[in-house]
Chain A
Amino acid sequence: MNDYILISTLNDFIFCPYSIYLHNVYMSTDEDLYHAVPQVRGTVAHKATDSKSSSTQKDVILALPVFSERFHLMGKIDVYKRKEKKLVERKYQLKGIFQGQIYQLWAQFFCMREMGYIVESFAFYEISTNRMIPISLPSSEKECQFEKFVSDFLNYDPSSPIKINPNKCSHCIYCNLCDKTDLENVYS
């Protein structure tokens, strides 16, 4: 089975499932080059973590590749504090916390759990304000909700009709090459 979902695309799937199709169509071209402003900022925020340079503490694991057989997920975690058994996702700025971002954190948590790590708490860390925002662990009910979401993602058929939200399209990096809209995005 090769149909693994990249954890980083969970948010995009909620934003617009069709954007996942377009992401796959165009992803051979360089990611940095085509990322619009908000995404670039996110990438920069992650740079220190990805290059494993933001901490020298022994108990901190950075940019660990994670994987879940059960949910067909793969990706990387941002920061895992071994002693505190805490998973942290760093963001440059958090205007609000979206469901997709929470799903990403849950996804990392499920992957780590399956890989044998113990995670007792997690949080977002806002770099611009140096703020830690704790997020509660998913209940078993939420876990079912997540499972259903992942299954919708795995079974997504890009030829099925979608409802267009012009506001989303105008903020979507795929807007110019998307056939579902005639809009221009705000980055054009």
Chain B
Amino acid sequence: MFTHKDIEYRTIFVINCIQKRHLRLLNGELLLEEEVDDEGRVKTLTKLPFQKIFALFVVGHITITSALIEKCQKYGVALVVMKPNLRPIFFWSNPAEANYLLRQRQHLMAKEDLSIAKIIVNNKIRNQIKSLKNTRKKDDITLSAIEKCISYLPMVNQCINYSELMGIEGIVAKQFFAAFYQMHHWEGRRPRAKCDVINATLDIGYTILFNYIECFLRLFGFDLYVGVYHRLWFKRKSLVCDIMEPFRCVIDKTVRKGLNRNQISEKDFNVRKGEYYLKREKNKEYQQLFYDALIPYKGDVFDYVQSYYRCFMQKKSVSEYPQFLI
């Protein structure tokens, strides 16, 4: 079974397989190899013991063999393969798909029940407030955004319907982003529109966060498509969208820091028809930026999801649901 010790000990490995790199199984170990010449000679870059892997994120190309799948299954390793643009094309991990009681409970939850959704939105807003406070900025925009965000918090609890809750979340997010990225010509959040560097980078960060959270939810066997805040929507994994809400602040903070330190900059992008695309050679750096920010939180994410699972199954009162506070 996965225990806290397990989560502490195991790591999330992100492997770049873009340039002439392969993964190979040898004597039960996973080798990352790189071609060194045109005659197919290879050198081993690293060896990864399966016992140390919690999840394997492969960016680029990989040959998946049954032996690799068997090993991943044996050691409970999640395998995620992403295109160079970080779009996941393959997600393999099913440690608890037989947890039908959990799924039953998810499906039985009344559509209009907003109790857990409110906890999640409340948590997200609290982290947005904290993130603004942590900037230590005392300018009018920041102070007024903090004040407004605080004023919306009690309204979350009073919401009587879904659209009202979504409305509050949207207004607060607008205030938060405008103040948080004020030094970087923030124009507004436009998911997937790639209209500027910050939006394009936030998309990358949130995508990584999404896959990261998905690994933990799969550990317990949740139906990823059934959320409590995000509604059923075709192929959307609504529960992952829900659970990532309190953790978005980690990405927001990383983007701000990256902009301030010039680790994220306009010159890293190509612009095509007004859309910003990260240059291929910059892929690795950007991934590293986000994984480095997220991996230290793996214990917190496990605790959060474990506690959420238990509260959900035991129909605990909303006050007992977990909070992730940055």
Q: Which A residues have a C-beta under 8 Å from some C-beta of B?
A: 21, 24-26, 28-30, 33-34, 36, 158-159, 173-177, 179-182, 184-185, 187-188
Partner of B104, one of A25, A36, A159: A159
Q: Closest residue to A31 on the B side, CB-wise?
A: B74
B101 at the interface (CB under 8 A from A): yes
B residues less than 8 Å from A180 (CB atoms): 313-314
Contact (Cβ within 8 A) B98 A25: yes
Interface residues of B, CB < 8 Å — how many? 28
Q: Closest residue to A178 on the B side, CB-wise?
A: B310
Contact (Cβ within 8 A) A177 B75: no
Contact (Cβ within 8 A) B4 A177: no
Query: What 0/1 pattern do residues 86 to 102 of B give for CB contact below 8 A with A?
Result: 00000000111011011
Contact (Cβ within 8 A) B101 A158: yes
> Which of A34, A176, A187 is the most central at the interface, judged by chain B CB atoms within 10 Å of its CB?
A176
Give the distance to chain B from A37, nearest Cβ to Cβ, in Å: 12
Question: CA separation between A37 and B256, bound complex, in Å?
Answer: 46
Contact (Cβ within 8 A) A176 B221: no
Contact (Cβ within 8 A) A188 B74: no
Partner of B2, one of A176, A179, A182: A176
Question: CA separation between A96 and B76, bound complex, in Å?
Answer: 34
Question: CA separation between A187 and B73, bound complex, in Å?
Answer: 22
7 cross-chain CB contacts under 8 A: A25-B96, A33-B76, A34-B76, A158-B101, A173-B1, A174-B1, A179-B312
Give the distance to chain A from B275, nearest Cβ to Cβ, in Å: 42
B153 at the interface (CB under 8 A from A): no
Partner of A25, one of B3, B73, B99, B310: B99
Contact (Cβ within 8 A) A179 B95: no
Give the residues from 89 to 128 in chain B that come closer than 8 angstroms, CB to CB, to chain A: 94-96, 98-99, 101-102, 104
Partner of A179, one of B3, B94, B309: B309
Q: Closest residue to A158 on the B side, CB-wise?
A: B101
A residues less than 8 Å from B3 (CB atoms): 176, 184-185, 187-188
Question: CA separation between A159 and B314, bound complex, in Å?
Answer: 12
Question: CA separation between A159 and B105, bound complex, in Å?
Answer: 10
Question: CA separation between A158 and B101, bound complex, in Å?
Answer: 8
B residues less than 8 Å from A30 (CB atoms): 73-76
Given contacts A25-B99, A28-B95, A33-B76, contact A179 B313 (CB under 8 A): yes
Contact (Cβ within 8 A) A177 B220: yes
B306 at the interface (CB under 8 A from A): yes
Contact (Cβ within 8 A) B95 A26: yes
Query: What 0/1 pattern do residues 1 to 40 of B give for CB contact below 8 A with A?
Result: 1111100000000000000000000000000000000000
Q: Which B residues have a C-beta under 8 Å from some C-beta of A?
A: 1-5, 51, 73-76, 94-96, 98-99, 101-102, 104, 219-221, 306-307, 309-310, 312-314
Q: Closest residue to A36 on the B side, CB-wise?
A: B1
B residues less than 8 Å from A176 (CB atoms): 1-4, 306
Contact (Cβ within 8 A) B74 A33: yes
9 new A-B contacts, CB < 8 A, other than A29-B76, A180-B314, are: A26-B95, A26-B96, A28-B73, A173-B1, A176-B3, A177-B1, A177-B220, A179-B310, A179-B313
Give the distance to chain A from B304, nearest Cβ to Cβ, in Å: 14
Given contacts A175-B1, A179-B309, contact A29 B101 (CB under 8 A): no
B residues less than 8 Å from A175 (CB atoms): 1
Contact (Cβ within 8 A) A177 B104: no
Question: CA separation between A24 and B220, bound complex, in Å?
Answer: 13
A residues less than 8 Å from B306 (CB atoms): 176-177
> Which of A26, A184, A188 is the most central at the interface, judged by chain B CB atoms within 10 Å of its CB?
A26
Q: Closest residue to B320 on the A side, CB-wise?
A: A182
Give the distance to chain A from B246, nearest Cβ to Cβ, in Å: 20
Q: Closest residue to B104 on the A side, CB-wise?
A: A159
Give the distance to chain B from A95, nearest Cβ to Cβ, in Å: 23
B residues less than 8 Å from A181 (CB atoms): 310
Partner of A184, one of B4, B76, B220: B4
Question: CA separation between A103 and B307, bound complex, in Å?
Answer: 36
B residues less than 8 Å from A36 (CB atoms): 1
Q: Closest residue to B307 on the A side, CB-wise?
A: A182
A residues less than 8 Å from B73 (CB atoms): 28-30
Question: CA separation between A33 and B71, bound complex, in Å?
Answer: 12
Contact (Cβ within 8 A) B74 A177: no
Contact (Cβ within 8 A) B2 A21: no
Question: CA separation between A28 and B74, bound complex, in Å?
Answer: 8
Question: CA separation between A179 and B313, bound complex, in Å?
Answer: 6
B residues less than 8 Å from A159 (CB atoms): 101, 104
Give the distance to chain B from A90, nearest Cβ to Cβ, in Å: 26
Contact (Cβ within 8 A) A179 B4: no
> Which of B220, B310, B312 is the most central at the interface, judged by chain A CB atoms within 10 Å of its CB?
B310
